[in-house]
Amino acid sequence: MLATQSEGDDVAGHALKAIILNCTLKRSPAVSNTEALASKVVEWWDRMDVVSEIVRVVDYNVPFGVSSYEGDGDEWPLILDKVKAADIVVLATPIWFGLRSSVAQMVIERLDGTYTETNDVGQYPLYNKVGGVIITGNEDGAHSAAESTLFNLSHLGLTIPPNADTYWVGDAGPGPSYIEAHGEDHAYTKRTTRWMAHNTVHLARMLKANPIPAEGNTFAEEDEHAPHIG
Amino acid sequence: MLATQSEGDDVAGHALKAIILNCTLKRSPAVSNTEALASKVVEWWDRMDVVSEIVRVVDYNVPFGVSSYEGDGDEWPLILDKVKAADIVVLATPIWFGLRSSVAQMVIERLDGTYTETNDVGQYPLYNKVGGVIITGNEDGAHSAAESTLFNLSHLGLTIPPNADTYWVGDAGPGPSYIEAHGEDHAYTKRTTRWMAHNTVHLARMLKANPIPAEGNTFAEEDEHAPHIG
Amino acid sequence: MLATQSEGDDVAGHALKAIILNCTLKRSPAVSNTEALASKVVEWWDRMDVVSEIVRVVDYNVPFGVSSYEGDGDEWPLILDKVKAADIVVLATPIWFGLRSSVAQMVIERLDGTYTETNDVGQYPLYNKVGGVIITGNEDGAHSAAESTLFNLSHLGLTIPPNADTYWVGDAGPGPSYIEAHGEDHAYTKRTTRWMAHNTVHLARMLKANPIPAEGNTFAEEDEHAPHIG
Amino acid sequence: MLATQSEGDDVAGHALKAIILNCTLKRSPAVSNTEALASKVVEWWDRMDVVSEIVRVVDYNVPFGVSSYEGDGDEWPLILDKVKAADIVVLATPIWFGLRSSVAQMVIERLDGTYTETNDVGQYPLYNKVGGVIITGNEDGAHSAAESTLFNLSHLGLTIPPNADTYWVGDAGPGPSYIEAHGEDHAYTKRTTRWMAHNTVHLARMLKANPIPAEGNTFAEEDEHAPHIG
């Protein structure tokens, strides 16, 4: 039983934390289809004792840039702190013109700043976190948005579980979005939501119990590694 | 020491197996730049007691299709058996016109056939394997090839570790390929090769010791899952 | 009236020729959804006096490679001749794993061979032709397949008209394909089919009447162009 | 002589106008590598009597959104007016994480608003304009940025000439950018800059002399078109 394991985690004070970065273009309180699908993932996590939060990025003042702090008024550090505190980091994005949103791209660009840091053992600071992606669009582009996002996350140090994506898209051309189209009843999206919610947790538990060894994946080893055996 | 852990694995009879599917367009014995970079990954694996094999797909008779057996003369089943026996599955591909090669695309299409099977606990048969990607091109397209390939592998059930890609590309436009350009001395590619080789092994060991629970990620649970708690 | 213009073309012996390269994975006589949508484009072209042909690439013996002739038995030259004789060149492809098919990728790779030739005025041999794309999939990936294919064609020398793509995809996940889903009645796909069929013809007529000047776009100018004014 | 044609255009009051939307993340007066390459395109256009302007988008207050006006303080309308007045529209973008920048994505999203308008003959308002792309990055992603951008522009109504892209990228991994790496001397980038600058002008002249007929590419024809012949 996952619930039991989860309770076990709780006993040890290790309840998992998850953050979903909702990259809709619309500020609160506008309705976000992407948030509607994200909330389905949260429903599963709630049952698994994962403490989660959905952050709508455009509600914060996040300027364009590739560092972790872009000067006065930059609220990205508030979001980055939440990312660093999480065991599971999920980008949720609408599709525009076949790609993830400009806000999602901006979030990835800002995460570039983490490349200049390391964790205690010399790896990128986002190591031992698990990544996933949630996508909604009215027609097409889910694969593209998932491909780029999961790859970027893996490059930033996150581990990508099997079936780490869930998405809803309608058929070709303009049309209703997730909420209006009753995407919540769409069998495929329900299944991928379930799989994604569970697999992010499965891997996060593994990595919490057994972090990735700092062997072969740090900058510090660079010099010694030329002749290094093993 | 990784070597020691690896010996420990050996004692238990659990030496890891890895397969690299080289998706060059050129049949043996033509020189493959992609194989040259793949061999660097193998060097690391050799030091970590991983038993590995590089398979040049075009040396086999693999017809186009999306099933695991496309009829008389189809040699894909020989390759698929190797994939199923491996703990680490890596696609190695050249870049053509900014994308992974037609052979790499064909390999992914043939893996579609695995979606019709399950493992003993009801997950996709490639669960608990680790995926990675090796890419060479003379100029551009590595991100695209890595994005699509790692995402496809994750969808097929593989886990993608952090920094699961290594690639070499030269600057804009036609130019020398990996071997001629002495890509083996390129600092960035050496680093990503090391990181990729190690992280595929780190995750494969974890998954061998602790397979992904069959909870929330099987078809069998579909019916019960509507009201399912946890 | 287009028909009138087209008759005018006929009088002058300039009826346009179009070729559609159907990149389905299935050999004839297997039913191809992609061909079904392609035939809708042909219907429009028929009304505009465009002489067209649909070539199913897998019915030919086309080996992997990046030259225009890969040795004994290579039937690509038969297809390439048709491409060179056409005013409009359209790739038609199914989507697999979010990308154009391996056959489509192979076709683009084989067109690499044309980069080594020039037309009479020193441009790439596919200059003054018009490109387009036709895509079918059961769920997602049309933008990706269109993006890569139209860009590749533009790089090979073709001109891409506005709205040069038509596609049909269903909603998220496995499901019926174009024919079974009655894609022929889908309003958006009908519209894009009409627009694509017409715009490829509009531009082809323009380029036939006024070819792209060999100014600033040939290799021969390379030396003189450093100090060249205008 | 292009110069002569161009003078002819001037006599008739038809000098071509071009706009380059520089989608760097950095506000003025920060140095922009993308602008440095864009200025090379402008050099060619200057010799061809094309009146051009480089607009650095982040210097304007452009909020996220998909309409042509997002409310008080939105300066996008100022940019959109320039786009509508231009014969040639080029997006210039840096590459971040293998894709075009968030600013470039935002610009495309804002252009979504033009879909709700038509020109005098019922086509999308950006018909009869020519599109191109300029890309700089330190290593990889030019094809991806060009693919998505040129496809999006074609969908918005622009015509894409052959070789409508120019880019500079260095070899794999972090490294110097265009200016520091002396990309201005890179033979391939110089050639593609020349070809792109010329072909955008060649096609713009054609479309100015012979606009795309409003036949088969308008919404107004939708009803009549079912039974329409030709």
Query: Is A154 close to B163, i.e. CB distance below 8 A?
Result: yes
Percentage of chain D with pLDDT > 70? 90
User: What's the confidence (pLDDT) of residue B220?
Assistant: 83
Q: What are phi and psi of D55, to 5 degrees?
A: -110, 120
**From CA B44, how far away is CA B49, in angstroms rounded?**
9
Query: Is D229 close to C47, i.e. CB distance below 8 A?
Result: yes
In the predicted structure, residue A221 carries a pLDDT above the cut 60: yes
Crossing angle (nearest 10°) for helices B2-11 and B187-209: 40
Which among D157, D201, D221 has the least Cβ separation from residue C162?
A: D157
- Which chain A residues are Cβ-neighbours of B89 within 8 angstroms? none
For residues C37-61, average pLDDT: 98
Q: Which two tokens stand for residue B126?
A: 């490639």
Q: Which residues of D36-52 are buried (b: 16+ CB within 10 A; e: fewer)?
A: bbbbbbbebbebbbbeb
Q: Which two tokens stand for residue C14?
A: 């300039």
**From CA C63, how far away is CA C82, in angstroms rounded?**
18
Find the closest chain B residue to A152 by CA distance.
Answer: B147
User: Which candidate, C207, C203, C197, places its Cα nearest to that of C49?
Assistant: C197
**From CA C103, how far away is CA C24, in angstroms rounded?**
7
> Which of B206, B221, B229 best probes binding to A when mutated, by most A CB atoms within 10 angstroms?
B206
Q: Which two tokens stand for residue D6?
A: 């161009």
Which among A97, A140, A144 has the least Cβ separation from residue C169?
A: A140
The residues near C218 (Cβ < 8 Å, ≥ 6 apart) are C118, C121, C122, C123
The residues near D43 (Cβ < 8 Å, ≥ 6 apart) are none
**From CA A212, how far away is CA B119, in angstroms rounded?**
26
Q: Please name the residue that has the structure tokens 């799989």.
A: A195
Q: Which pTM does this prediction carry?
A: 0.94
Query: Is D112 close to A102, i.e. CB distance below 8 A?
Result: no
- Which chain B residues are Cβ-neighbours of A158 within 8 angstroms? 162
Which among D143, D171, D187 has the least Cβ separation from residue B170?
A: D171
**From CA A34, how far away is CA A23, in angstroms rounded?**
8
Q: How far is B122 from chain C (nearest CA, A)?
A: 19
Query: Is D105 close to A96, i.e. CB distance below 8 A?
Result: yes
Inter-chain Cβ pairs, chain C and chain D, closer than 8 A: 152
Percentage of chain D with pLDDT > 90? 89
**From CA A100, how far away is CA A147, in angstroms rounded?**
10
Q: How far is A173 from chain C (nearest CA, A)?
A: 6
**Between residues A221 and A214, which one has the greater pLDDT?**
A214
User: What's the confidence (pLDDT) of residue B4?
Assistant: 34
For residues C52-60, average pLDDT: 98
User: What's the confidence (pLDDT) of residue C3?
Assistant: 34
**From CA B105, how far away is CA B23, in angstroms rounded?**
9
In the predicted structure, residue A19 carries a pLDDT above the cut 60: yes
User: What's the confidence (pLDDT) of residue A220?
Assistant: 83
Q: Which two tokens stand for residue B212?
A: 């992904």
In this structure, of A131-135, A149-153, C223-227, the range with the lowest mean pLDDT score is: C223-227
Residue A14: band (very low, low, confident or very high) from pLDDT cuts 50, 70, 90 = low
In the predicted structure, residue D5 carries a pLDDT above the cut 80: no
Q: How far is D64 from chain A (nearest CA, A)?
A: 6
Query: Is C2 close to D213, i.e. CB distance below 8 A?
Result: yes
**From CA B194, how far away is CA B181, in angstroms rounded?**
20
Give C84-107 pLDDT, tens digit per residue. Answer: 999 999 999 999 999 999 999 999
Query: Is D159 close to C160, i.e. CB distance below 8 A?
Result: yes
The residues near D117 (Cβ < 8 Å, ≥ 6 apart) are D68, D124, D125
Q: Are C99 and C137 in contact (CB under 8 A)?
A: no
Give B44-99 pLDDT, tens digit per residue. Answer: 999 999 999 999 999 999 999 999 999 999 999 999 999 999 999 999 999 999 99
Q: How far is A31 from chain B (nearest CA, A)?
A: 26
In the predicted structure, residue D151 carries a pLDDT above the cut 80: yes
Q: What are phi and psi of A18, to 5 degrees?
A: -130, 145
ipTM of the complex: 0.92
Q: What are phi and psi of B84, to 5 degrees?
A: -70, -30
Handedness of CA A219, A223, A226, A227 (dihedral sign): negative
Q: How many CA atoms lie within 13 A of D166 on its CB side?
A: 31
Coil, helix or strand at residue C63? coil
User: What's the confidence (pLDDT) of residue C32?
Assistant: 98
**From CA A190, how far away is CA A203, in angstroms rounded?**
20
Q: Are strands B130-136 and B88-96 parallel, antiparallel or unpaired?
A: parallel
Q: Are B49 and B20 in contact (CB under 8 A)?
A: no
For residues D40-58, average pLDDT: 98
pLDDT beneath 70, residues of chain B = 1-14, 223-230
- Which chain D residues are Cβ-neighbours of A124 within 8 angstroms? none
User: Which candidate, D94, D160, D95, places its Cα nearest to that of D130?
Assistant: D160
Mean pLDDT for chain D? 92
Domains in chain C and their CATH numbers?
A: 3-224 (3.40.50.360)
Mean pLDDT for chain C? 92
User: What's the confidence (pLDDT) of residue D187?
Assistant: 96
Subunits next to A (3 or more Cβ pairs <8 Å) are B, C, D
Q: Which residues of B92-110 are buried (b: 16+ CB within 10 A; e: fewer)?
A: bbbbbbbbbbbbbbbbbbb
Q: What are phi and psi of B23, to 5 degrees?
A: -100, 35
User: What's the confidence (pLDDT) of residue B6?
Assistant: 39
In the predicted structure, residue A223 carries a pLDDT above the cut 70: no
**From CA B166, how far away is CA B193, in angstroms rounded?**
5
- The enclosing H or E element of B51 equals strand B51-56
In the predicted structure, residue D90 carries a pLDDT above the cut 70: yes
Q: What are phi and psi of C63, to 5 degrees?
A: -75, 160
**From CA B27, how far away is CA A53, in angstroms rounded?**
52
- Which chain D residues are Cβ-neighbours of A97 within 8 angstroms? 105, 108-109, 112, 148, 152, 155
